[in-house]
Structures are given as structure tokens and as C-alpha cells.
Chain A
């Protein structure tokens, strides 16, 4: 079983739409969780950490459900500049486990 699983998409949404991504993880001992954004062939960049209580940063909201072992990312009022691949990352110990990413294209 993979450490982290994500729906690869692609998600094609119109500007202004709300879109949600989910990610499941297998190691219940995982302690740190993150969402990264990756533009084509560039380095991953941290979008936000995910806390147990849920957290929000502008149009982005992240949630963690430890009981069901999944994390989610909600993007409201999508912008063209949100088009990218979104990576779910889980850290159960010394290593970080990356999902394969979910591709988002925001259409004018």
C-alpha cells in the first residue's frame, strides 16, 4: 500500500470556482502534514502546513482528519495563477512521503 495516495486529476475548473483535493495516508504515526504546489518541472514550494484544528490562508483551507487518515485542501475563488500540481506530503518520521500530485487547470 502506498504511503500517500492522491487523485491525479486532472481538475479543469472555471475561474472563480471552488475546488477540493483529498489525500489519504497509511501511517497512523504521521505527525506533520503539508500541501505543496509544483509548477511545471520546477521545485515544489510549500503552500501550507496542515494542523489538526484545520487552518486557512486566504482562499486556501486545509483540513486534517486523523481518524480517517486523510487531509484535504480547498481552494475558493480559483484564479488562473492557481493552475499547478498540488502535492500532499506526510511526515511520519525522518522521511517525507509525497503523493503523486493532483493537476489543476483554471480556465478563463
Chain B
């Protein structure tokens, strides 16, 4: 059971470089999310998507971009890496219970990113 798969698990970038964090899920969930978690801090929502072709900003979207061309994939793009983007990035997915809210989120293992 793959669930939510994130790649890479670790990455070191130089300031100004760009990269894409990959996230794919095999549970046919409509909803997908990207969070970052800084040391000792809580999860902060970067972007989310409620279905293919639809994306919305979360609490901390600056410096990031996303796309959702398929139900399965939700990549996160860093265009000009900055030291402030050093963090652990988690992708998550969930399904909807109609008018009763969402099912719980399933998380990937995370991508540990350092910008030097």
C-alpha cells in the first residue's frame, strides 16, 4: 500500500536554485495539501487543491508554486530557493464526506530540504 509518496526524501540546494518536490497518491483522493514544518514549530499550509485543475493558496504560499494536472500528482515548485525555505515539507491527501467534512489526511514521509 503506497499511500502518499514524496520524493526526494532529502535535498540540499544552493541559494537561487530551483527544484520541484514531487507528491503522488494512489488512493484517488480529491484533496491534496502541501505543508512546511520548521524545527519546533507546527505545520503551516502552503497550497492545497480540491481536485485536478484547482489550486488555492494556504497560509504561506510566497516563494512556491503548485499545479494539479491529475488527481494523483501535486508537485510543489521552488523557483528561487532562499535560506528561509529550509524546512521539512509534507504532502497530504484526503477524501470528502460530502457535507460531513473531510476524512482524515494521509501524509507522505516528508522531504527534508536545506538551502545553503
Contact = CB atoms under 8 A, between A and B. Distances in A.
Interface of A: 30-32, 34, 36, 41-46, 49, 87, 89, 91-92, 94-96, 98-101
Interface of B: 31, 33, 41-43, 45, 48, 50, 56, 58, 88, 90, 92, 94, 97, 99-110, 112
20 contacts: A30-B101, A31-B99, A31-B100, A31-B101, A32-B97, A32-B102, A32-B103, A32-B104, A41-B88, A42-B109, A42-B110, A43-B110, A44-B43, A45-B107, A46-B104, A46-B105, A49-B104, A91-B102, A96-B94, A98-B43
Contacts, number: 58
Count chain B CB atoms within 10 A of each CB in A32, A34, A99 and give the residue with the most. A32
Majority-rule SS of A interface residues: loop
Given A32-B101, A41-B88, A101-B42, A94 B107 contact: no
A94 B48 contact: yes
Nearest to B105: A96
Given A42-B109, A95-B48, A100-B41, 16 more contacts: A30-B101, A32-B97, A32-B101, A34-B104, A44-B107, A45-B107, A46-B106, A89-B105, A91-B101, A91-B102, A94-B31, A94-B50, A95-B45, A95-B58, A96-B33, A98-B43
